[in-house]
Chains A and B, each alone.
Chain A
């Protein structure tokens, strides 16, 4: 049904896939496992035909493959039936410019019958629950004749009841002889639905197992199993002063995404947060600074923040480096100097005077200290490499001497050299007494940087571990959730 032979794919210097081979037979459910960045999404895109592999082949059965992405694509305000048959709406026999509503409903019911007979095809798509919308998408894919279905994290947003319905649908498809490639982080679910599991690690297949012949522990070990990064920070407990907290967060809640999160970062401490995609961990920093609407209390250096907006947090000494550099970090049209000077300028108030020379001076000063290259503060920041852009954003905050740093994926899309410079920088600000919270999907990074690491699962803090007494495997295990 679906077969990959030695697929290679690189993006710039990053080798995302290094000769991946796998196959899905008719009526088989194959789980694809791996950490964030292991190459799963690239493989999905290769199979879906969105990117072309440099070497190797993707073989599909005649009828092709359908991909059900995490973000569903549907027309919300129209009916389920119309969504199902959008590409081949039945026309009226005598007046072919009119829609044949009766046949539309009939055919839609036929398509849904094996998968989700209880969904009303006349309901509006946007009125359905997430799980039902997903089932409609699957029905559309199979109805259009797909021989294989690729599901990317299908249960990430589903309730337990919806998951059960989805599994029933998967079972129905399996009986029809459809091959399914099922991508998920949730090992307990995989053990329920899959026949085989393929583990991807660093862009290559690390192992293939029949479910039932492999233990959960072995799978986790295989998902993680790799070398630690070169950087290691000396993190002795005595470096951290017990007294006080730089940052204290209590009951941080984002409806539907985060549940009553409590966190404490002491001066000089680096606390990591780890979670899989969709766990809610990516929202924590933004919720703290008020960039997404959240309830709960935040205390910075002993003072409770009354209003939580990025501007109020800036004044309280809370710096936030967002994960999406291009969308939320840089001002692409402005110079490196102005980009760096932005937060310090905000501290001085709108009426304060500045000149191009003062922007340039700030740029030169920080470019020197953080090794931002090229050393030209007049260059538009968009001309810099990812790593140097990230340093510029970091410099923007360093200039106001914050008491707390919230770093969202600080080394995402940053090359190896700049990465270790970022690590040293983070270690330095902590050594100077700032509290640091690092949200990262890279475990080795957290293991080498942090004093403690918290794991977020399904919107809640599942545990807080001292880095000295935990290993990657335990953290991944906690992040996948379920046992322990």
Chain B
């Protein structure tokens, strides 16, 4: 009896088993919460937790779709720039007197267009996704800076409050948007044929092609979705700032990739779990918040972010090795 119990527990207790089940990540997160609670008296207060969730909202929205992009064997590094550019578009539209519906539509169109651009460069010109979206990241960031002369664009504060600032029962609306993004990506990946294709294309693109899956179409849709998510993130940013900033969301793409990889999405494609990405995003948000509370400069935060990214990828390698 005891023997069978230990036999059953062993895989969960081993490093490999823990890595696979994602239990390790939750434990790490819990540890992080405990550490910051001890280190800072303000950390575990309602207001601060809301701060964390607010900062996680934009990251979560793009990280949810980024997970799908990574599962499909790709990458989208352009999401940060696109979110910033979108916030400018929203602010310009609102300050020009166009209503909120038009601003929202504009944001989503901008996101979709950038996503489509990525898709075309990757599938038609056969450019490696890393390079294609890195280029797009620079193009879109540059475009935003040129358009605004690197200045923040302010719009009337009575507009668009519900997206980033309003609360329902104490919870920001933006958090609801984020959760909706996670539910949507989860449902599509798990319950649609398209979702199966995303895994198939990431796991073995040649086999998918030969099995009659339209690989290029699948990849294109994934990048357009990622662009849309960036557009939505831009809306939330514009609402939170009550302005559009061409310099906003710097490093958002790295945080999103880190969250997804922390959550177990494999950089070689074909593997990943959306809900674990949420835990990854929470870790990122909590870490940033905790460092702020501990009065550590934002420059150091950047460095810490890099360390976490590298650790996450190293963890992915460890997982891959454990599998073989």
Contact = CB atoms under 8 A, between A and B. Distances in A.
Interface residues of B, number: 26
A289 B196 CA distance: 23
B188 to A, nearest CB: 9
Contacts of B217: 350
B193 A333 contact: no
B182 interface: no
Interface in A326-359: 327-334, 338, 341-343, 345-356, 359
Interface stretch (B40-48, B85-93, B137-145, B208-216): B208-216
A351 to B, nearest CB: 6
Interface residues of A, number: 36
Nearest to A338: B196
B191 interface: yes
A101 B204 CA distance: 46
B203 A343 contact: no
A346 B200 CA distance: 11
B265 to A, nearest CB: 12
Interface in A22-61: none
A350 B197 contact: yes
A349 B221 CA distance: 14
B194 interface: yes
A331 B212 contact: no
A468 B19 CA distance: 60
Contact of A351 (B193, B207, B211): B193
B199 interface: yes
B270 interface: yes
A348 B194 CA distance: 10
Nearest to A408: B210
Nearest to B323: A333
Interface in B295-318: none
A331 B194 contact: no
A330 B199 CA distance: 12
Interface in A389-423: 396
A354 B200 CA distance: 14
Contact of A352 (B193, B204, B208, B213): B193
B210 A330 contact: no
A331 B210 contact: no
A350 B192 contact: yes
Contacts of A348: 193
B203 A396 contact: no
A311 B192 CA distance: 18
Contacts of B204: 327-328, 330-332
A350 B207 contact: no
A276 to B, nearest CB: 24
A359 B191 CA distance: 11
Contacts of A314: 211-212
B208 to A, nearest CB: 7
B207 A328 contact: yes
A265 to B, nearest CB: 20
A359 B197 CA distance: 13
A333 B192 contact: no
Contacts of A363: none
A341 B193 CA distance: 10
Interface string A303-317: 000000111011100
B206 interface: yes
Given A331-B200, A333-B271, A354 B206 contact: no
B309 to A, nearest CB: 24
Contacts of B195: 354
Contacts of B270: 331, 333-334
B54 to A, nearest CB: 34
A351 B194 contact: yes
A311 B197 CA distance: 13
B293 interface: no
A291 interface: yes
Contact of B203 (A331, A346, A353): A331
A310 B210 contact: yes
A144 B209 CA distance: 45
Nearest to A354: B193
Of listed B197, B207, B208, B270, residue having the most chain A CB within 10 A: B207
Nearest to A347: B212
B26 interface: no
Contacts of B191: 353-355
Contact of B212 (A310, A350, A354): A310
Interface string A347-378: 11111111110010000000000000000000
Contacts of B210: 289, 291, 310, 320, 322, 328-329
A291 B218 CA distance: 17
B193 A396 contact: no
Interface in B242-288: 270-271
Contacts of A343: 211-212
Given A311-B213, A342-B208, A346-B212, 13 more contacts: A291-B210, A310-B209, A320-B210, A330-B207, A331-B207, A333-B203, A334-B199, A334-B200, A338-B199, A341-B196, A342-B196, A343-B211, A351-B192
Interface of A: 289, 291, 309-311, 313-315, 320, 322, 327-334, 338, 341-343, 345-356, 359, 396
**Which are the 7 A-B pairs with shortest beta-carbon distances?**
A314-B212, A350-B194, A345-B193, A331-B203, A352-B193, A333-B270, A311-B212
19 contacts: A310-B212, A311-B212, A320-B210, A328-B207, A330-B207, A331-B199, A331-B270, A332-B204, A334-B203, A338-B196, A341-B196, A342-B208, A343-B212, A345-B193, A346-B212, A350-B218, A351-B192, A354-B191, A354-B193
